Amino acid sequence: MTERPDDPRRGGSFFGRRRGKTLRAGRAATVADALPGLNLDPDALPDELATLFGAEVREVRLEIGFGGAEHLLHRAQEAPNVGFIGVEPFIDGMAKGVAGVVRLGIENVRLYDDDATRLLDRLPSGSLAGVDLLYPDPWPKTRHWKRRFVSEENLARLARVLRPGALFRFASDIDSYVAWTLAHVARSPDFEWTAERPVAWRAPWEGWPGTRYEAKAIREGRVGTYLTFERR
């Protein structure tokens, strides 16, 4: 599946396909009804992101590419006083996120269904308490590595919107992408890897619910790596 024909990022976006199988009628109706009220407009963001949410929240975190929304929904229920923004351009994943928010009656989640970089460029500086990038598309072919989300430009984007001491968390089962990420972060003046011993990157974070992508990796004999970086 390719990007939209009218998408100016076609051939250069950090995500691949936007659509998979046709949504079931009920799921499509839920998305049509609920997504407009949940979806963010990057050009109309308030200075105080906490005002975006129906619940009263003390801080806001971002998950880029939430996939099946397992982690996003779990964290939102785990911390109802934290606001979560979930980004997912793939309509199947977005539909799962919308359906979960509606089913669970969650009021501390907002969503965005396009390129995360556009949102990052419009978020207020120092407005986020954390960013998660979990099992992103690894773009395994060398000629596609430039489409990996972790890059010098995107680390600078993350650094701008994260407050000092905030965490950027990255998970992948692809060794080359893990090495790529560590190399890029090592060159960044804005982040520090927090690991002090192997368990810090071999074990998932506390409260980790697992995701379908992690489960697929395990079935196929791959092991996830979990990296945490602190905004200096």
pTM confidence score:
0.90
* Record: fold of 25-231: Rossmann fold (3.40.50)
- Ordered by start, the domain boundaries in the chain are 25-231
pLDDT value at position 36? 96
pLDDT value at position 11? 41
- Note the pLDDT tens digit of each residue in 172-215: 999 999 999 999 999 999 999 999 999 999 999 999 999 999 99
Do 111 and 98 form a contact (C-beta atoms < 8 A)? Answer: yes
What is the percent of the chain where pLDDT is above 70?
90
Q: Rounded to an integer, what distance in angstroms lies between the CA atom of residue 187 and that of residue 94?
A: 33
Closest-CA residue to 210 (of 64, 98, 70, 69): 70
- Note the pLDDT tens digit of each residue in 20-42: 567 777 678 889 999 999 999 99
How many other C-beta atoms can be found within 10 angstroms of the C-beta atom of residue 2? 12
Q: What angle do CA 227, 230, 231 make, to 5 degrees?
A: 135
Give the mean model confidence (pLDDT) for residues 62-89. Answer: 98
Give the mean model confidence (pLDDT) for residues 140-166. Answer: 96
pLDDT value at position 21? 64
- Pick the catalytic residue from 114, 115, 132, 137: 137
User: How confident is the prediction for the chain on average, in pLDDT?
Assistant: 91
Active-site annotation holds for 137: yes
pLDDT value at position 25? 72
